[in-house]
Amino acid sequence: MKIRALIVDDEPLARERLRTLLEADPDVEIAGECSSGRAAVAAIEKHAPDLVFLDVQMPHLDGFGVLEAIGPERMPATIFVTAYDQYALRAFEVQALDYLLKPFDRERFHKALRRAKELVRGPAGTELSRRLLALLEDLRPDPKRLQRLVLKSAGRVFFLRTDEIEWIEAAGNYLRLHVGADSHLLRETMNELETRLDPSRFIRVHRSAIVNLERIKELHPWFRGEYVIVLRTGARLTLSRGYKEKFEALLGKPL
């Protein structure tokens, strides 16, 4: 009997890459594709796939939100797919759960798929639930950390989840919060906001800039020990020498 796999990723090219690799495997049947966490929850509930390739970073409802919504005891075998989050990678490894780090090659994909096949066909349901539950405990945000901001603009009051913020820059007596094509002003100092943000996700890279690690695409060496940070949106920031050591500590390896 074929293994029914669901692909969940908000990036069309990433879904296409997974689909192409899975279609070449005679043991796998693609049960569907989803471009959002909310659609993934509905698809898992409806189709009950054996295996899910689950993107970690998605807007509105991320991969961990999908896991919480379905529940560890009902979640299919899961291969997490992530662009870059060293904190999450360590958690996956501790719980012996598989992940694909983008961009992944064919060999790494097939290794993960082989392990998933063994899991699906073996009597490991209870153990898988325990690992997924432990993963959620590892990654559940510290309740003391800031989860959302209340902002006022043009007479309106609205809520902004901190994980939607891509980067933050100093703007006079305000901070400018960059969220996609939009930006919002917050009257607070950089030092004050830094102490309230989750340190496993947000890091100061310059005296006037804080970045969301999950939004980083790549780093490029620059002058005098500094680096250029390129975000997935194309925005470019500077990692100054004074913040490089802390950045390396969070990554767990030197640049």
Domain ranges, residue 107:
3-139
61 vs 139: which has the higher pLDDT: 61
Q: Which of 139, 171, 193 is the last residue of a domain?
A: 139
SS3 category, 208: coil
| 132 and 161 co-located in one domain | no
Judgement on whether residues 165 and 115 belong to the same structural domain of the protein: no
Residues 9 and 133 in one domain: yes
Q: What is the mean predicted confidence (pLDDT) over 50-68?
A: 88
How many structural domains does the chain have? 2
CATH number at residue 218: 2.40.50.1020
Tokens of 245: 């050591």
Q: For residue 71, give the nearest of 14, 19, 128, 145 by alpha carbon.
A: 128
In angstroms, rounded to a whole number, what is the distance separating the alpha carbons of residues 175 and 167?
10
- What one-character-per-residue DSSP string does 38-52 give? HHHHHHHHHH--SEE
pLDDT in tens, 181-224: 889 999 899 988 988 898 888 999 999 999 999 899 999 998 88
Residue ranges of E strands in 12-93: 28-34, 51-55, 77-82
Phi-psi category of residue 151: left, alpha or beta, with phi > 0 → left and psi -120 to 50 → alpha: beta
Cα–Cα separations (whole angstroms), residue 18 to 4, 7, 47, 118, 145: 14, 7, 19, 19, 35
Q: Which two tokens stand for residue 1?
A: 């009997």
The sign of the CA dihedral 16, 17, 23, 27 is negative
In a shared domain, residues 135 and 158: no
Q: What's the pLDDT tens digit per position in 89-116?
A: 666 765 667 888 888 899 999 999 998 8
